[in-house]
Structure 1
Amino acid sequence: MAVNVARELATRAEHRVIYLTSQEIADKKLDKLSGTKVEIMIEPEPGIKVWERLGDNNYWVESGLLNGDLQVHEKAYLVFSEMQSIDSFRSDNQLLDQVLAAVKPDLIVTDSNIVYPAIARSGIPLIRIWITARLTGINDRLLPPHGSGLPIGCNPEVYDEFKRKIIKPFNAIWKPYNNYLVSMGCQPLPENVLFTIDDCLNIYAYPKEMDQLYDQIKPLPKNVIRVDHMLIESDFDGQQFKIPDKLRDKSGKLIYFAMGSICSSDRQNMIRLIKMFGKSQHRFIVSLGDRLDDYPLPDNVWGQPSLPQLSILPLVDLVITHCGINTVCETMYFGKPMICLPVYCDQYDHSQRIHESGFGIRLDVHKCTERQLLGSIDSLLADKVLAKKLKKISQRIQLY
């Protein structure tokens, strides 16, 4: 999302934009900035080391995060337990101090949902992009806790119970983090909150038809802006996809299955699900990830390790997904129903909002049976009222 914001600021608004990132991210994810006026500034040393570790697929496989026996709160506990070092924050703050002194920006845009003293003390206007939608920044006892996947409208005591289950590892992050901020001259944060929203403009992407479920309980503050997506025109450039020969002449609806890089690393469960697809009357395009190259796919299934998702989505009738925020926004952009198979953190929240909105069906990624999965697929594909509704939503979203 931040890359798209940088590109638009440089091309449409014609501002001078400097994008601070690590060499690893520049090598892997910044190709869409080539040919633009965005200046890429590489960190002199690895940035937030803890985040780099948490972005390693192998690390999460070994950590047990993909273990189907863990409960939602246990996965949240695991994630927070892996984020306890304050050293990386200190290191990054020192780097930001140097960068801000050298660049002297008029505006800072960040997708980091923590507070850096270098930014907080600079007096420079700040825009914060929330990377996992509304529950990232809005904390309220009447709303589901971030990462819980709990329904809207529960008794607040249900939400409190989830928070109690994860409080120990979260406190282990928050206490030294808050003490560090105070020692650097910043205001203390509210208990167990990683950043406040009232000192900046906040932006997040989430389809209106799902996000409005929250409005009934907690309307957005005036300094928080929701948009349906953060796709830009260049996202659609150069991506072409033709239905593979293996599937082109077969009967049945066309379904796209993508679980993201980390979740697709669960080879055993990916194979379990693909075997179920083989018993369906429909056709499946699968983003395989990097662990299924040697697995023979059923006759009605075709896949590759990586696929041009935005070129595939317009062609398919249904999407099966882990419900990462980008895939959710992109699927709603094209108006497709979803089978939601969340694995951890915010994926549970997005899946539950889709389920509650009637735009898809949430299943347990590890425990769903063949009958449940294939039955849910057939049910959504047969729902003409839903198809018409999603088409109308897609038309609305694509108007701008």
Structure 2
Amino acid sequence: MMQKTVAFFPEAAFGPALNSVGIAQALEARGHRAVFLSDPGFVDVYKGYGFEAHPVNLSEPMPAEQMAKFWEDFINGHIPNFRKSPYDQVDNYVKDCWTAIVDSAKWAQKDLPGILAKIRPDVICVDNVVLFPAIKQYGKPWVRIISCSENEIEDEDIPPHLSGCGENDHAGHAAYRDHFNQVIRPIHDDFNAFLAGSGEAPYPLGQFFEASPYLNLLLYPEAAKFKRRHPLDPGRFQYLEGCVRKEVPYEVPAFAANKDGPLIYVSFGSLGAGDTELLKRIIAAIGKTRYRALVNVGGYKEQYGDVPANVIIDGWFPQPSVIPQVDAVIHHGGNNSFTESLFFGKPAIIMPYVWDGHDNATRVQETGHGFKMPRYDWTEAELVARLEDCLTNPRLKARLTATSAHMQAQDGPAKAARLLEGLLAEAAA
């Protein structure tokens, strides 16, 4: 196939951004041109992987450092809410996020038509939770990438997105949906007014996006997918089994203590790193064990004083190069950490705090791939017991080995590239 241009427009978060990088790498390996539409604060992320990137304002324009500080302050301001249940977060964190998300769609509509006319993509891939009318109206096929939990695509029989409910907790499903719709109604009314002004039909209450009529790529692994009342049509919906990007190699440093101890990787993501008190508590607990640990502390390294000799902290790790070398992972349930741990067959303890982390934590335990733990209500003995379970449970190891083999055979980025090529061929026919 002759070279085609594929535009990627991921949400301004590292999970969606880096998943799209993985697909873009696979497309370029097949001779195509991958271009990123990007929140200004993420332009350098894509350029760092060698991709062309065009800024799209998703809020009031401000310097990149100021924007980064805005989101850091946003997350840190919500740290008290991380102690709340998913149901109780609807009134604060979830409501504030949806307000910002709707505003981002309004801002994007100003820039997108001109940028798309300049880039002239043959297909556009959107990894977000909100509709950007200019993309739907551009006249070329558009693809929805779903990098959060697969329950972004609703079904009556599965837990609502962000709820953290168990698969069979149908009373909990109903209670969460009712509460979410009640709180979100004013924001949703505002979004529907924006859609009307952009020439689009309104969405039902609670819905801010739709499935693509062309192709939808779910990063969720089949081993964790839900039992739906209405199975997804494989002609339009494909599971990628994760989307692990190629990353720089990582050599595990020498530790001053426990040199042969099991190696644990701890990361709550770039934003979750702001919860420094929790990370310090985990570091202190691991410091008393036979393990070694690599701990991602994000931009807060200066806040850590005496780190135990069996722990190494850093502000960033090339995660797809680290996880294959560790024995277990403690993370927040973000989709990259969730799928990468499964892809490499590593047991995980998930301590969720917001968004789809709640869903992924529940799902990892329900499907026998790891454990959900409360973020704050645990003792050191309980944490160590869970880690020992991760390291020694034969049923857990067997399940992870099978899931990892299946996911790696699928090769999500290459599978996505093939599916996109097929869509391009159909459009050209």
TM above 0.5, yes or no, is yes
**In 2, are the aligned partners of 1:241 and 1:308 still within 8 Å (CA)?**
no
- The aligned residue for residue 220 of structure 2 is 206
List runs of 5+ in structure 1 lacking aligned partners. Answer: none
**In 1, are the aligned partners of 2:130 and 2:208 still within 8 Å (CA)?**
yes
- The aligned residue for residue 140 of structure 1 is 155
**In 2, are the aligned partners of 1:80 and 1:169 still within 8 Å (CA)?**
no
**SS at 1:165 equivalent:** helix
Q: Would you say 1:269 and 2:278 are equivalent positions?
A: yes
- The alignment's C-alpha RMSD in Å is 2.4
Equivalent position to 2:173, from 159, 179, 184: 159
Equivalent position to 2:127, from 111, 122, 126: 111
The letter for the 1-side match of 2:34 is V
**SS at 1:127 equivalent:** strand
**In 1, are the aligned partners of 2:109 and 2:134 still within 8 Å (CA)?**
yes
**SS at 1:57 equivalent:** helix
In structure 2, the CA distance between the partners of 1:160 and 1:392, relative to structure 1 (3 Å rule), is closer
- The aligned residue for residue 129 of structure 1 is 145
**In 2, are the aligned partners of 1:2 and 1:110 still within 8 Å (CA)?**
no
**In 1, are the aligned partners of 2:297 and 2:315 still within 8 Å (CA)?**
yes
- The aligned residue for residue 210 of structure 2 is 196
Equivalent position to 1:219, from 231, 240, 243: 231
Give aligned pairs, total: 384
In 2, Cα distance between the equivalents of 1:183 and 1:29? 32
Equivalent position to 2:249, from 239, 244, 247: 239
The letter for the 2-side match of 1:39 is E
In 1, Cα distance between the equivalents of 2:75 and 2:122? 38
- The aligned residue for residue 318 of structure 1 is 328
User: What's the TM-score, normalizing by structure 2?
Assistant: 0.82
In 2, Cα distance between the equivalents of 1:311 and 1:24? 25
The letter for the 1-side match of 2:53 is I
**SS at 2:33 equivalent:** coil
In 1, Cα distance between the equivalents of 2:44 and 2:276? 26
**In 2, are the aligned partners of 1:244 and 1:302 still within 8 Å (CA)?**
no
User: What's the TM-score, normalizing by structure 1?
Assistant: 0.88
Residue identity over aligned pairs, in percent, reads: 25
Tell me the CA shift for residue 163 of structure 1.
2.0
- The aligned residue for residue 25 of structure 2 is 7
Tell me the CA shift for residue 41 of structure 1.
2.4
**In 1, are the aligned partners of 2:196 and 2:202 still within 8 Å (CA)?**
yes
- The aligned residue for residue 417 of structure 2 is none
**SS at 1:2 equivalent:** helix
- The aligned residue for residue 178 of structure 1 is 192
In 2, Cα distance between the equivalents of 1:390 and 1:6? 27
Q: Would you say 1:39 and 2:52 are equivalent positions?
A: yes
Higher relative contact order, chain-length normalized (CA < 8 Å, sep 6+): 2
Tell me the CA shift for residue 264 of structure 1.
1.7
Tell me the CA shift for residue 216 of structure 1.
5.2
In 1, Cα distance between the equivalents of 2:161 and 2:27? 30
Q: Would you say 1:102 and 2:114 are equivalent positions?
A: no
- The aligned residue for residue 396 of structure 1 is 406
Equivalent position to 2:384, from 356, 368, 374: 374
Tell me the CA shift for residue 193 of structure 1.
0.5
**In 2, are the aligned partners of 1:65 and 1:344 still within 8 Å (CA)?**
no
List runs of 5+ in structure 2 lacking aligned partners. Answer: 1-18, 62-66, 412-429
Tell me the CA shift for residue 198 of structure 1.
5.0
**In 2, are the aligned partners of 1:174 and 1:194 still within 8 Å (CA)?**
yes
In structure 2, the CA distance between the partners of 1:101 and 1:353, relative to structure 1 (3 Å rule), is same
In 2, Cα distance between the equivalents of 1:194 and 1:373? 38
Equivalent position to 2:265, from 256, 265, 279: 256
Tell me the CA shift for residue 292 of structure 1.
4.0
Q: Would you say 1:73 and 2:87 are equivalent positions?
A: yes
The letter for the 1-side match of 2:114 is Q
In 2, Cα distance between the equivalents of 1:48 and 1:342? 27
**SS at 1:381 equivalent:** helix
